[in-house]
Amino acid sequence: MPPRIPDWLKALSPGAWVMAVLALMSSGVILLSPPSPRKGMPFWIFSKIHEDTYGPIVSSWNGANPRRPVDLQLIQFYALERRLLSGFMAGTPVADLFETERMVASRSFAGPLDRVGFVDLTDRLTSEGLMEQFNAPTFSLWTSRGRIFGLPHDVHPVLMAYRADLVEAAGIDMAQIETWDDFLRVLRPLMQDFDGDGRVDRYLLSGWSTNGPFTEMLLLQGGGTLFDARERPCFDLDVNVELVAKMTSWFAGPDRMCTEAPEFTGSGHKMRLDGVVIASLIPDWMAGQWKRELPGLSGKIKLMPLPAWTKGGRRTSVWGGTMLGIARTTPDFEAAWAFAKTLYLSPALADALFEGAGIVTPVKAHWSRPIFHRPDPYFSGQPMGALYIAQAPSVPARVASPYSKLAIEKLTSVLVALQEYAQNARQFRPESLQPEARRLLQGAQAEMLRQIGRNRFLAP
């Protein structure tokens, strides 16, 4: 007696049977076929500007190294993040070389050091004398538990860009400003109600409590930090309490000096063009972006160091960061390493990145190159590159925790809650906000410890 055919198989149409058979055949072909050999060294990047500037150097390398050519591949940012991290965790094929942003790179540091997907470059950097060639604080983002996993692409110091035309028309001398208290005192006359509705129509600074990169940047400038040197969360430090309370006084109350002119938006650009905000805090890459997207401000803007939190304090901060890393799975580390150095140490690349994107190089030997010292008409004849380079050695070091993104989100939540508290309690002086700031930061600290405590490799 023949075996009984299940009813669900009888219900399949001829077309479904054909599709099933084709699927099985194609799966078999894939499984039995040998993997196709790599065509050179895949190099994944996420920036179109980088693709354009790297092209000549890659072509030159490929001409000199036909057996190990570089295959430059531009991949959308979030797609690159998914491919990189899933490849590292699942052991699926990835590129030989990557350029990746700080938040993506740090997430790859979540496990034991010997399972990080990037090659540990610490010993090579030391033995070849490369540590001294790069701006020292720039390595911090690519360092986990004392080991370095990437070459720094940039520095990204932050300066203040201000509407020099409006300031100078009011007879204000910006040289009077050394601290943030000076900034508020000297520029307060420019906060005006132009339409008579009782509300200020011009603010001194673009920024808001919900802008995580902005508030992290200010915290770092003031000596605050969300992680200690051992990568443990430390939200409730006294310095963090003071800085968070002070920032909240900028965002809350009838005399607040900040409003948000969002970056990368038409509405934010319109606010800058209309003079709704006098000053913005911009890293070098954003200065380059302004030149491309806000030509109407050309000749109206000047740059200056940030006001310090205290007299004699740091006059810059840092925003963003990219590295070049080499995958542990690369079949030829020596070739990948040689290309990485050829690219990132190139003086031609230093010039091209500044010309195309406003980015100043972390390679100190290139800082004297003429391109960085030319007067820039956009910034009222100031040498934009030289002004950023002057602050590069002073950028604060950062901790490359896999939980950095979560930490910034927690900081944002604290600032939003403290701003709401200030409005409800009608308390706008920093001193009066510090007790609540401490309570909120302690709560964020406890939440971070609970989260990190689930990771047995990084638990405090």
71-96 per-position pLDDT tens digit: 999 999 999 999 999 999 888 899 99
Q: Is the pLDDT of residue 30 over 70?
A: no
Is the distance from CB of 48 to CB of 74 less than 8 angstroms?
yes
d(CA 253, CA 27): 65
Signed CA dihedral, 21, 22, 23, 27: sign only: positive
Signed CA dihedral, 127, 340, 329, 75: sign only: positive
Q: Is the pLDDT of residue 219 over 80?
A: yes
100-126 per-position pLDDT tens digit: 999 999 999 988 888 899 999 999 999
Is the distance from CB of 317 to CB of 281 less than 8 angstroms?
yes
Percent of the chain with pLDDT over 90: 82
Angle 55-134-357 from CA coordinates, rounded to 5° = 40
Residues 6+ apart with CB under 8 A from 300: 163, 164, 165, 380
Query: What local confidence, expressed as pLDDT, does residue 91 receive?
Result: 87
Give the DSSP per-residue string, 261-299: --TTSHHHHHHHHTTSEEEEEEEHHHHHHHHHH-GGGTT
Q: What's the chain's length in residues? A: 460
Q: Is the pLDDT of residue 38 over 60?
A: no
Radius of gyration of the chain (CA): 26
333-382 per-position pLDDT tens digit: 999 999 999 999 999 999 999 999 999 999 999 999 999 999 999 999 99
Angle 410-237-440 from CA coordinates, rounded to 5° = 40
Task: Check for a shared fold between 41-152+320-378 and 158-317+396-453.
Answer: yes
Distances (CA, A) of 98 to 53, 76, 333, 352: 16, 13, 13, 20
Is the distance from CB of 109 to CB of 141 less than 8 angstroms?
no
Domain boundaries, the chain: 41-152+320-378, 158-317+396-453
Residue 129 φ/ψ region, left for φ over 0, alpha for ψ in the -120 to 50 degree band, beta for the rest: left
Range 41-152+320-378: architecture per CATH: 3-Layer(aba) Sandwich (3.40)
The whole model's pTM is what?
Answer: 0.89
133-146 per-position pLDDT tens digit: 999 999 999 999 99
Is the distance from CB of 444 to CB of 414 less than 8 angstroms?
yes
267-283 per-position pLDDT tens digit: 999 999 999 999 999 99
Local confidence band at 35 (pLDDT 50, 70, 90 cut-offs): very low
- Which uninterrupted H or E stretch holds 406? helix 404-425
Which tokens is 372 given? Answer: 């960085």
Which tokens is 270 given? Answer: 């319109």
Q: Smallest Cα–Cα separation from 418: which of 438, 399, 404, 398?
A: 438
Domain 158-317+396-453 maps to which CATH number in 3.40.190.10, 3.40.50.10360, 2.70.70.10, 3.40.50.300? 3.40.190.10
Is the distance from CB of 239 to CB of 233 less than 8 angstroms?
no
- Which uninterrupted H or E stretch holds 386? helix 384-391
Relative to beta strand 277-283, strand 203-206 is: parallel
Which tokens is 356 given? Answer: 């195309």
